[in-house]
Amino acid sequence: MNTFELLKPRAGLRVLISGAASGIGAAIADAFLQTDAHVYVCDVDPAAIEKVKQRSPKLHTGVADVGNREQVDAVIDDAHARLGGLDVLINNAGIAGPTGDVDAIAPDEWERTISTNLNSQFYFLRKAVPLLKETSDCASIIAMSSVAGRLGYAYRTPYASSKWAIVGLMKSLAVELGPSNVRVNAILPGVVQGERMDRVIAARAESTGVSFEEMKQQYLDKISLRRMVTVDDIAALALFLASPAGRNISGQAISVDGNVEYL
């Protein structure tokens, strides 16, 4: 096998991606489809899933609130039945959570953020890991964290707490599952172009009393390369981690962020 071939996931991988009706998850799903993978995606929004099915008929799809254990169990059972097994789990689902001083954050908002971002990853793992252990030589888990999982993030404490916890979960699982030949890594996206980031910037601008454009520039000034990343940048790393070239990469929290210096 030549070097170029090592950089491509093998054809026929069975991939499950949570929160993949739009944004990063959708880009990763599209990227794996281009490598002839069999891909199952789920999302909480039935209308968004319907659009995904129309855009990419080859995708297998399901609807689930990832913070609901029973719904996650049902999705994994459905994915197992349709894919005939599982080689790659990408725990991507997440929400931005509230923005504000810690004493102003409602407990319900805190709990919803932790449930969606962190608990959901455990719910998928507890059912998917036995399936991944059954696969041959390519089992891989990719946990979507954030640059806020390596840096402090004022006014976004629920989000940052969940993303730091995901890195700890990943590193612990890499040790636990290594003897079973299951690799576990985390991707830490930085400031990602798109509507979601625009909403985050707008909320932070409002909470600190500055304009949207001023807050956007503040974000860019914190990035060494002075630019945002794209969803395709994140998808490219996911493909690499699932490829033969990544077979000895495990337990790593890898940033794709243009080197965000601080938040």
The 10s digit of each residue's pLDDT in 31-58 is: 999 999 999 999 999 999 999 999 999 9
The answer to whether the Cα torsion of 14, 139, 147, 75 is positive or negative is positive
Instruction: Choose, from 40, 155, 159, 262, the residue flagged as catalytic.
Output: 159
pLDDT tops 80 at residue 158: yes
**Count of residues in the chain:** 263
Given pLDDT bands bounded at 50, 70 and 90, which one contains residue 196? Answer: confident
Tens-digit pLDDT profile for residues 109-127:
999 999 999 999 999 999 9
Domain boundaries, the chain: 3-191+230-256, 193-228
Among candidate residues 2, 32, 4, the one with its CA nearest the CA of residue 16: 32
Mean pLDDT, residues 25-31: 97
pLDDT tops 90 at residue 142: yes
Question: What is the assigned CATH class of domain 3-191+230-256?
Answer: alpha beta
Burial of 108 (0-12, 13-18, 19+ CB in 10 A): exposed
Residue 159 annotated in active site: yes
Q: Would you state the pLDDT for residue 3? A: 59
Percent share of the chain, pLDDT over 70: 98
Residue with tokens 């899933």: 49
Helix axes 120-134, 69-83, angle to 10 degrees: 30
Q: Would you state the pLDDT for residue 231? A: 96
Tens-digit pLDDT profile for residues 1-11:
555 667 788 88
Could you give the dihedral angle defined by the CA atoms of residues 61, 38, 79 and 183, in that order, rounded to the nearest 10 degrees? Answer: -120
Distance CA 77, CA 150 (A): 33
Mean pLDDT, residues 151-174: 97
